């Protein structure tokens, strides 16, 4: 039987890119939901009925432009937190990216807070082979992993990846390429980057230099999740 992957997106600019592509190559049928529609970006406190994670073989949780602890998104962060806990209790593997990784931390006893060192653009991560290397980042929050998690990636700015049972959380964006980041820049990211001391022109050119390697590196990360984390 075909395995099913639930992809949870939070706003219209988030895409699963090469990560989703590798799941498809590994035999997963992709089913996607989007929490906040484009016309509610400025008022994201929507009510959303999440699917039952127990009906899927894995869950992929993508990034978002909001903080997981913000009251403006509490209406759907709370039920999404319950989804993550239900998946964990049922042994359904969950892969969380950036906001998704922060949600995993928050759901399982860790925490999320504003980072004193925001990361925008590529940065180096040390860790297990599938995690180590240069990854594109865009976050001003960071997670503190749950006490019983194993940190498998980090740098000087923040913990970058952890494993907890069948959950993998990463702080970086393995799924995006330069076109995705350009979309972020065009949607207010230029001002955000500059306000945090980053040159958007330098950021996009640095990201573009990584594009050729993204599919292979994303595939290796998905393989690590499926072959090592999801089977633990």
Catalytically active residues are 98, 173, 175
Comparing C-alpha atoms, which of 63, 57, 62, 49 is closest to residue 29?
57
Integer angstrom CA distances of residue 217 from 94, 121, 165, 182? 19, 17, 23, 20
What is the C-alpha separation between 63 and 88, in angstroms, rounded? 19
Enter the tokens of residue 203. 């950021």
- Check if the beta carbon of residue 225 is closer than 8 Å to that of residue 95: yes
Beginning with the edge strand found earlier in the chain, give each strand of the sheet holding 94-97 in spatial order: 28-34, 3-9, 58-61, 94-97, 167-170, 159-164, 150-154, 111-127, 133-144
Comparing C-alpha atoms, which of 72, 66, 141, 136 is closest to residue 110?
141
Rg of the chain on CA atoms, in Å: 16
Planar angle of CA 155, 158, 162, nearest 5 degrees: 90
Question: Which helix H or strand E contains 135, and what residues bound it?
Answer: strand 133-144
């Amino acid at each position: 039987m075909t395995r099913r992957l639930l992809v949870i997106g939070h706003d219209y600019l988030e895409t699963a890119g090469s990560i989703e592509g590798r799941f498809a190559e590994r035999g997963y049928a992709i089913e996607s939901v989007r929490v906040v529609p484009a016309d509610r970006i400025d008022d994201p406190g929507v009510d959303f009925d999440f699917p039952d994670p127990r009906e899927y073989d894995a869950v992929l949780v993508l990034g978002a432009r909001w903080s997981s602890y913000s009251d403006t998104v509490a209406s759907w962060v709370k039920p999404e937190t319950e989804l993550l806990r239900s998946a964990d209790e049922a042994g359904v593997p969950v892969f969380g990216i950036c906001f998704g990784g922060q949600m995993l931390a928050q759901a399982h006893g860790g925490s999320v807070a504003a980072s004193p060192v925001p990361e925008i653009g590529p940065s180096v991560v040390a860790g297990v082979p599938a995690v180590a290397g240069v990854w594109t980042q865009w976050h001003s929050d960071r997670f503190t992993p749950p006490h019983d998690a194993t940190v498998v990636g980090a740098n000087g700015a923040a913990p970058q990846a952890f494993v907890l049972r069948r959950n993998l959380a990463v702080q970086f964006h393995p799924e995006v390429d330069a076109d995705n980041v350009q979309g972020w820049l065009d949607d207010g990211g230029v001002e955000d980057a500059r306000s945090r001391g980053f040159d958007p022109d330098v950021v996009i050119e640095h990201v573009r230099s990584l594009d050729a390697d993204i599919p292979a590196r994303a595939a290796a990360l998905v393989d690590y999740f499926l072959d090592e984390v999801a089977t633990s």
